[in-house]
Each structure stands twice: as structure tokens, then as C-alpha cells.
Amino acid sequence: MVKETSIEISGIGFSAGHFVSEGGKCERLHGHNYQVSVRISGEINSQGMVIDFRVIKEHLRLLCKEWDHRLLLPAYSSQIKISARGEKTEVKTPDREYSFPSKDVLILDVTETTAEELARILAQRLGEILKQNFPNVHQIGLSVAESITQRATVVIDL
Ligand SMILES: [Zn+2]
């Protein structure tokens, strides 16, 4: 008997800048071509699917598009202080100061813009969308890869 079925999507991503602070030091500003993959688990519906691949791809593309070609900044870092003042966003780290156009910046509800935290935010946002319309979906596993050698995965139950 089939207990649960899942579908998997990959090949969707976004390009963004970031830097992570660690132990009082910050990385240099740099970017990644992030790749996102997702696994949706649940019961098969009357059309023989967990969820239409196209539906997941569309939602994931829209979420990634919001982050594409932006500088991602953490709202809750202990080391990276952000002050958004109209058109300018000023960023202070223990050893650097930056000023960015506010329209190029996205401040996320994370402590650091690590792959783990980005995966969590994306999984939660996708979860909010799916929870409303797809009661047969039980779990989302979502990975964010910074490169082919490093990825972070979170699993959330709906
Ligand atoms: Zn990085």
C-alpha cells in the first residue's frame, strides 16, 4: 500500500547578493546563482496527482522572482545593522559601511542570509500558499543550493 507520494521540482532559481556575519566578522559582499528544489508530499487526488507540477513551478518562480537580482539583507543579525532611509539603505558591519539603493535591497526576516534561512523562508511562503488550496499536501521539503557543492534543506509539515 502506498503511504505517501511526493513530487519533485528543480531547475528554478534566483541570482542574488549577500554576505553572512560569523563571530564578529563579515564575509565580503558576493553573490550566488541560487538553485531551488522542492519536494511536495501528500496523498494522490482524484486526478492521480499530489499536485500539478505546473502549479508548483509557477508559485516557486514567482517567489524566486521577488529575490532575483537583489541584495538580500538580514533583519535580525547581531552584526549587520540596517537603516532604511527612503531611497537609501545604509548597512553597517563591524568593519564596513555600505549604502545601497533601497529598490535593490530586500530585507528578510532572518538572522543571517544563510542558505538554511533562505530555504526556511521560501518553504514557509510556499506552505502558506499550498495550505489554503491543497489539503492533501502534508509536507514540503525545500532546498536552496549556493553552488553545486553546497545546499541547505528544510522540511516543514503543513
Ligand atoms: Zn554566500
Q: Look up the CATH number of the domain holding residue 39.
A: 3.30.479.10
Average pLDDT, the chain: 95
Residue 135 confidence class, pLDDT cut points 50, 70, 90: very high
Helix (H, G, I), strand (E, B) or coil at 102: helix
Q: 138 CA distance to ligand 1 centroid (A)?
A: 31
Note whether residue 153 is domain-resident: yes
**22 grid coordinates:** 560569523
Note whether residue 103 is domain-resident: no
Residue 25 has pLDDT above 90, yes or no: no
Q: 30 CA distance to ligand 1 centroid (A)?
A: 6
Residue 2 confidence class, pLDDT cut points 50, 70, 90: confident
Residue 60 has pLDDT above 80, yes or no: yes
* Number of domains observed in the structure of the chain: 1
Q: 64 CA distance to ligand 1 centroid (A)?
A: 17
Note whether residue 77 is domain-resident: no
What residue numbers bound the domain in which 137 lies?
5-71+111-157
Note whether residue 135 is domain-resident: yes
**Mean per-residue pLDDT for 2-13?**
93
Please, are residues 121 and 142 in contact by the beta-carbon 8 Å criterion? no
Please, are residues 45 and 136 in contact by the beta-carbon 8 Å criterion? yes
Q: 98 CA distance to ligand 1 centroid (A)?
A: 17
Q: 29 CA distance to ligand 1 centroid (A)?
A: 8
Residue 4 confidence class, pLDDT cut points 50, 70, 90: confident
